[in-house]
Structure 1
C-alpha cells in the first residue's frame, strides 16, 4: 500500500494553489423557466487559465462534486458548474412539462455557460482577464457525462435508429466522461420505455476524451454488466483513453461529494487517482507540449498494486 500511495502522489500535476469560489452566479435563461445558477471556482493566481465546464449527475447541483471541482481549480483550471433542472435543490415535480426535455435542456445549459463567459468571469473577484477561452474542456458524471458527451459529438438515436441533432460545440477541445452509460440496445425494458434519450450514437464523438469506468458498476438500467460503461470508448473514433477502475461502482470511490450518501464504494485513494489522472489528461489535451499525461500513464502502468488500468487509441 505504501508503494501505491507513492505512485498516486507522483501523478500530481503541480502543487495546489488557493481557490476562490463564487455561487450562485445567475445567468438569464429566457424560455427555460428558471434562470441558470452557476458556481465559479478559480485559482487565486495565474493567467491564461483553461476552463472546465462540469455537468453534475441526476439530482445533484453546482455544489456537488467538490472532490473534483476543488482539485481542478487548485491545479489551475477555472471550473464552471451549472445546476440543471433535475437538481434536488430545485424540486421540479415529475409532471412538470419540461421534464421530458431535461436531457436536452442540460446540453443547452452547458452551451449557455460558454455563451456567457463574460458574466461568469466578472463574477469572481480578480478573475477578469484571466481566462483562456481557446482552451475549454467539458466533463460530467453519469447523466452529466451524457450531457457533456453531446458537446464532444455524441448524438441520440431516434425511434427509428437514426442519429439525431448534432449538438457538438467547436469551442470544446477535450472532455472527461465519468461513468457514461453505454449503447441503448442494452437497456432494460423499463429504461427503454422511460428514458428514450439513453440511446447514444458515438460514431461522431471525435473530440479527444478520457472515459472513466468502474469494473463493478452494475447499472439497474442495463441488461449487461459493467463493461456497458466502456462502450463510449469502444464505439467512438479519434483520440480516446479509457481508465477502468478496479472495484469501482457508479460513484467511482466518492466523486459526487465528501461523504455523499450515494457513494457505495468509498475509497479516497481511488478518488485521488481520478483527480490526478483527469487533471493530467486535460492539461495535456489542451496544451500539446505538456507531457503530464504520458508521465501519469507510465506511473500507473508501473505501479505494482494499481487501482486501475489505462487503454488509449
Structure 2
C-alpha cells in the first residue's frame, strides 16, 4: 500500500478537439432512441475509448450527452475518444419516467446503453467525421459520476439484486478493461438510513466484492451524502476498500459531490466550484488510464513524481 499527496504541474497547452452529436442509435425495445455525443482529438490514431456515464442531477441538460464538457474535452485533448450517452434517466427524457417500470433511475438500462455502444462502434465510426480507423477497440474504459459511477461499477463487475424479482443482476462488460468511478455510491445494507435510500432501493444491495476490473476511485473529502447514509464521505471510498484487485483511490481535498464542477462549465448546481481541482482530476485520470492501457507509458509515474505536500495540494493517492 502506498500513499502520497499531490499538486498539479503547470497546465499543458490546450489541444484542439472535435465534438459531434447527437449520433442516434435505434435500440429494439428501448422507449427512446439512444443518443450519444462523441468527442475526439483532431489528430492521433490508436485512441483509447472512454464511455462516460452522466449522473442524475436536477439540471435540464447536464445529465445528458450535453454535460461533463470539462472532463470530456480534457480527456479528448489528452488522446481519448469520449462517448457520452443520454441515459433514459435524463431529465431531458422525463416524459418517460412516470410509466416506465425502471424509472426514474433506469439502473439496468443505463448499463445496457454502454454495451449497445460497444456493439455498434462500427456504426459510430462511420457516422462521426474524422473518426474512421482511429479508435483502439481493445482499450475501452468506463467512467461515471454519482449515479453514473454506479453504472460504471456494474459494468466493472459490481453486483446488485433486482428489486423487482429478487434475482442477482450481473451486468459485467468484459470488453471494458478499466474504470474511473467519480463520487460513486458506496456499500448497500443497513448503513443506508437517509431519506433517499428508500427512493433508490437498488443501492441497498450494492456489492463491490465482485468488482475485480482495475479502477481509479475518486472521492471528495467533503462529499457527505447524508441523504443516503450517516457514514460520511468515507462511503464514497467503499469501491476502493471493498473491491478486489488493482484499485487506486484519489481523495480530493475540500471536494463535495461535484468534485469541483465536473458536470459543466460554471454549473449553478456545483457547490464546490474549483477549476483547478477539475483540471487536476482530469489530468490525473487521463494519466492513470494512459498508463493502464499502454504498459511502459510513464504518464502515471510522472504524475506520481509531481506529488508534493503543502497548502496547495489538491488531494492524496492510495493504491493497492
Query: TM-score, with normalisation over the residues of structure 1?
Result: 0.92
Counterpart Cα distance in 1 of 2:176 and 2:93: 28
Task: Give the counterpart of 2:197 among 189, 192, 195.
Answer: 192
Q: Secondary structure of 1:9's partner?
A: coil
**Deviations 1:15-57, CA, capped at 9 Å, x for gaps:** 5432111100001111110010000111111111110000000
2:299 is equivalent to residue 292 of structure 1 = yes
List gaps (5 residues or longer) in structure 1: 1-5
Query: Could you give the per-residue CA deviations for residues 164-196 of structure 1, whole angstroms, max 9, x where no partner exists?
Result: 222111111101000011111221253332212
Which position in structure 2 is the counterpart of 1:74? 77
Of 170, 181, 184, the match for 1:180:
184
The answer (yes or no) to whether the contact 2:222–2:256 under 8 Å persists in 1 is yes
- Whether the aligned pair in 2 keeps the contact of 1:301 and 1:309 (CA below 8 Å) is no
Q: Secondary structure at the match of 2:306?
A: helix
Pick from 240, 244, 263: which aligns with 1:256? 263
Corresponding residue for 2:68? 65
- What are structure 2's unaligned runs of at least 5 residues? 1-5, 58-62
User: Is residue 97 of structure 1 aligned with residue 100 of structure 2?
Assistant: yes
Query: Who is 1:3 aligned against?
Result: none
Contact kept in structure 2, 1:142 and 1:180, CA below 8 Å: yes
**Is contact 2:162-2:169 (8 Å) kept?**
no
Q: 1:92 to 1:297 in 2, by over 3 A?
A: farther
Q: Alpha carbons of 1:101 and 1:72: their partners in 2 closer, same or farther (altered >3 Å)?
A: closer
Match of 2:90, SS state, is coil
Task: Pick from 148, 165, 171 the counterpart of residue 167 of structure 1.
Answer: 171
CA distance in 1, matches of 2:65, 2:40: 14
1:271 aligns with 2:278: yes
Distance 2:319 2:84 in 1: 28
Please tell me the root mean square deviation across aligned C-alpha atoms, in Å: 1.9
Which is further off, 186-195 or 34-43?
Answer: 186-195
With the length of structure 2 as denominator, give the TM-score of the two structures. Answer: 0.90
Any conservation in 2 of the 1:16–1:75 contact (CA below 8 Å)? no
1:8 is aligned to 2:8: yes
